[in-house]
Amino acid sequence: MPGILRVDQANVDSIYAKTAGGFVYIPGHVIQYVDYLAPSLNDNYTTISSNTVWDTPVTVSITPKRSNSKLVVRAQCPTRIVNALGIHGVMKRDGNVITQGYNRNTTGFFYKDNTVNHHWQVFSDLSVPANSTATTTFLLSVMPYSGTGEYSYGWGPGFIQIWEIAQ
C-alpha cells in the first residue's frame, strides 16, 4: 500500500534510500553541480566589432547523470559598451543558441544609447531539460549592437554555474 513516510514520525534509527545505479534520486534535489570561473586579467579587453557574435571564455561542460533531469544554468560576464547602442548576451548549448537570440526585444539585451562608455554584466539564467546523459557544453556569447563593444577581463570575473536537478 503506497503512503508517505515522514522522517520525523518514522521512529527508527536509520533509513536507507533505494538507489538506482548507485545514486539516490529525490525529485527536486541537486544531483550534481559544475562551475567555471573565468580568470580576471587586470584591465585587459577584447574588442568586439559591431553586430558580431563573440564567444566569451565563460563556458563549462556537464555530463548529466539522468536524462530526465533538469539543468539550471546561471552565467555572467563583464563587458564594456564602447560606442554601441547596447549589447546582447545569449546562451549556447553545444554551439546552438538556446535563449531568445540576438534581437533588441529580449531579456538578454541591454540598451544604453550612444552617449558614454558603459560597463555591463551580461547575464543568462535558464533551465533546460537534460534530454541525455551525453556530455553537453554551455557557453555565454555576446554581440554589441550598432557599434563596438569589449569583453572586459579585469572588470570582475565571468562565471557559469550548472545544477542538475532530479525530476
Supply 75's cell numbers.
552565467
Question: Domain span at residue 146?
Answer: 27-165
pTM, 2 dp: 0.78
- pLDDT at 2 (0 to 100): 53
Question: What is the H or E stretch that residue 81 is in?
Answer: strand 70-81
The residues, ordered by sequence, that sit 6+ positions from 63 with a Cβ below 8 Å of its Cβ are: 133, 134, 135, 136
Question: Tell me, what CATH number does 40's domain have?
Answer: 2.60.120.760
- pLDDT at 1 (0 to 100): 42
Q: 19 lies in a domain?
A: no
What Cα–Cα distance (Å) separates residue 14 from each residue in 5, 8, 19, 105? 13, 12, 15, 54
More confident residue, 130 or 82: 130
Per-residue pLDDT band for 108 (boundaries 50, 70, 90) equals: low
Q: 103 lies in a domain?
A: yes
Residue count (the chain):
167
Q: 145 lies in a domain?
A: yes
Number of domains in the chain: 1
